[in-house]
Amino acid sequence: MPKPVVAIVGRPNVGKSTLFNRLTGARVAIVEDTPGVTRDRLYRDAEWRGRQFTLVDTGGIAARPDDPLVAQVRRQAEQALEEADVILFVVDTRTGLTADDEEVAEILRRSGRPVILVANKVEDFSDPTLTHEFYRLGLGDPFPVSAIHGLNVGDLLDRVVDLLPEAAVEEDGMALKVAVVGRPNVGKSSIVNRLLGEERVIVSDLPGTTRDAIDTYIRQGEREYILIDTAGMRRKSRIADSTEHYSVLRALKAVERADVVLVVLDGTEGVTEQDKKIAGYGHEHGKASIIIVNKWDLVPRDDKTMARYEEMIRQELSFMSYAPILFISALTGQRVARILPAIDAVGAEASRRVATGTLNSIVREAVILTPPPAVKGQAVKIFYATQVKVKPPTFIFFCNRPEDVHFSYQRYLENQLRQAFGFEGTPLRLLFRRSKGQ
Ligand SMILES: Nc1nc2c(ncn2[C@@H]2O[C@H](COP(=O)(O)OP(=O)(O)OP(=O)(O)O)[C@@H](O)[C@H]2O)c(=O)[nH]1
Ligand SMILES: Nc1nc2c(ncn2[C@@H]2O[C@H](COP(=O)(O)OP(=O)(O)OP(=O)(O)O)[C@@H](O)[C@H]2O)c(=O)[nH]1
């Protein structure tokens, strides 16, 4: 089970490190240090009221000495967003609100991610005026604490734990959540009905999280799946929601909740702009995806048709070359039986953890084979890598000059990881962090 990640962000000197130590030291049992990164003291595993999480101090991470302050803080916030489930945004009640605070608040607000606005250095809780001005950040009630004295820190931890995502096991057993997305008329309903019509499948309705969403629970043998927001798909007379905006919004919501996304294309047509956009949601949210080319029964074929269509998809959806492609017909049932096994496969890959030792031997080899190109005569060195998350598998590479690891080199490393470990169907995240080295 991956641990949720809680990130601390804020401009320098507001007390992030003090809070980090306080949250992981005095009041929280340290369960274990994340292997390998202990010397950087940036990631620490913590536990509160039986919930485990990993705390990240982004302060030490993002500093690039030559950057203006505002850029540093912005980068910090963006990095936190990339990996965190809950964000602690620390402000300083002694210095008061600054333009940098507002900049970060703006990024965090737009993200829609759970944020706790922590007003630090409050030693006098009887004075409510200390935190008033921070309401202006639009991030809800400021949460007053004194990191240095540990005041109100237990309450803060309660709040953090409340905002952590439900552990998947408690929520729905082992069921994989699957979103079926695609343009109108590509055959989403037909596929869902086919899946439900397959033998040995047990169907029941579960109320979804959005008001009119209905999730469908299916079981096949030992395996369980939840098809997300299938209300309109299972009945032929659909709720009148086909305005484009609404269906796009709906698809986005479904994708956010999903473990695996089925991107349905119409085999009688090419890949349209809208297809790209819809497929992009899953990719951007780090979800495992399967591309389903439907209506294959309508496509006049010879022995090269499939290969040609596949090549076209790889070109048009080049950002998700990791996704397997299935050619099916919901009408005739052709190859529909391959969908659930494919979901199992990519779901497992998205949750895969690789051992730190193995990972580093692959990375070392890759770096020796093709070292990162030097920038302005300065060598770029990658010291060490560690996998910090699954769904999607997320790796941190500690290096001397993270900003100089070129995009094409990142792609190279990603390809090396895929060659060594597979990860078919899931996007990977590679993050580069500064470290002083060995
Ligand atoms: N009075 C008071 N001072 C605090 C509190 N928390 C932190 N400080 C002080 O604020 C200063 C900055 O604290 P740090 O924890 O180093 O701040 P930081 O945000 O990690 O700073 P950077 O590492 O520069 O990003 C230190 O001198 C702390 O002792 C607090 O609750 N009350
Ligand atoms: N020939 C053929 N027709 C199909 C196939 N799958 C779906 N269709 C037809 O395509 C049309 C649209 O199918 P739906 O399943 O309603 O498509 P949808 O994606 O759910 O459509 P919206 O709910 O409007 O988004 C229907 O007339 C289906 O009968 C297929 O594999 N082959």
Query: Residue 153 and residue 84: Cα distance in Å, rounded?
Result: 20
Atom of ligand 2 nearest to the CA of 184: 25
Reduced 3-state DSSP string for 367-408? HHHCCCCCECCECCCEEEEEEEECCCCEEEEEECCHHHCCHH
Residue nearest to atom 9 of ligand 2 (CA): 187
- Is residue 12 in contact with ligand 1, taking CB distance under 6 Å? yes
18 CA → ligand 1 middle, Å: 6
Mean pLDDT for each consecutive 10-residue tract of the chain (438 residues)?
81 86 60 35 73 77 55 71 87 92 87 91 87 92 93 92 70 77 88 74 53 73 83 52 60 89 95 92 95 96 93 96 97 94 95 88 94 91 90 92 92 95 95 76
Reduced 3-state DSSP string for the chain? CCCCEEEEECCCCCCHHHHHHHHHCCCCEECCCCCCCHHHCCEEEEEECCEEEEEEECHHHHCCCCCCHHHHHHHHHHHHHHHCCEEEEEEECCCCCCHHHHHHHHHHHHHCCCEEEEEECCCCCCCCHHHHHHHHHCCCCCEECECCCCECHHHHHHHHHHHCCCCHHHHHCCCEEEEEECCCCCCHHHHHHHHHHCCCEEEEEEECCCCCCEEEEEEECCEEEEECCCHHHHCCCCCCCCCHHHHHHHHHHHHHHCCEEEEEEECCCCCCHHHHHHHHHHHHCCCEEEEEEECHHHCCCCCCHHHHHHHHHHHHCHHHCCCCEEECCCCCCCCHHHHHHHHHHHHHHHCCCCCHHHHHHHHHHHHHHCCCCCECCECCCEEEEEEEECCCCEEEEEECCHHHCCHHHHHHHHHHHHHHHCCCCCCCEEEEEECCCC
**CATH superfamily membership of 5-163:** P-loop containing nucleotide triphosphate hydrolases (3.40.50.300)
Residue nearest to atom 15 of ligand 1 (CA): 15
Q: What is the pLDDT of residue 229?
A: 74
Tell which one of 180, 181, 188, 190 to mutate to probe ligand 2, the residue whose CB is within 8 A of the most ligand atoms: 190
CATH of domain 356-434: 3.30.300.20
- With both helix axes pointing from N to C terminus, report the angle between 153-163 and 16-24 in degrees, rounded to the nearest 10: 80
Query: Residue 216 and residue 208: Cα distance in Å, rounded?
Result: 9
Query: Residue 410 and residue 199: Cα distance in Å, rounded?
Result: 45
Atom of ligand 1 nearest to the CA of 18: 15
Q: Which two tokens stand for residue 47?
A: 């536990």
For the CA of 120, the nearest ligand: 1
Residues pairing with 204 in the sheet = 217
63 CA → ligand 1 middle, Å: 16
188 assigned binding-site residue = yes
Q: What is the pLDDT of residue 75?
A: 72
389 assigned binding-site residue = no
186 CA → ligand 2 middle, Å: 5
| 170-350 topology per CATH | Rossmann fold (3.40.50)
Lining ligand 2 with CB less than 6 A are: 182, 184-190, 233, 238, 242, 294-295, 297-298, 329-331
Closest-CA residue to 263 (of 326, 312, 193, 214): 326
C-alpha distance from residue 144 to each of 12, 83, 151 (Å): 18, 25, 9
Structural domain spans, the chain: 5-163, 170-350, 356-434
Say if CB 229 and CB 254 are below 8 A apart.
yes
Conformational region of residue 25, where left means phi above 0, alpha means psi within -120 to 50, and beta covers everything else: alpha
Query: Residue 75 and residue 58: Cα distance in Å, rounded?
Result: 9
- Is residue 328 in contact with ligand 1, taking CB distance under 6 Å? no
The answer to whether domain 170-350 and domain 356-434 are alike in fold is no
Q: What is the pLDDT of residue 426?
A: 98
- Is residue 189 in contact with ligand 1, taking CB distance under 6 Å? no
150 CA → ligand 1 middle, Å: 12
Query: Complex ipTM, two decimals?
Result: 0.56
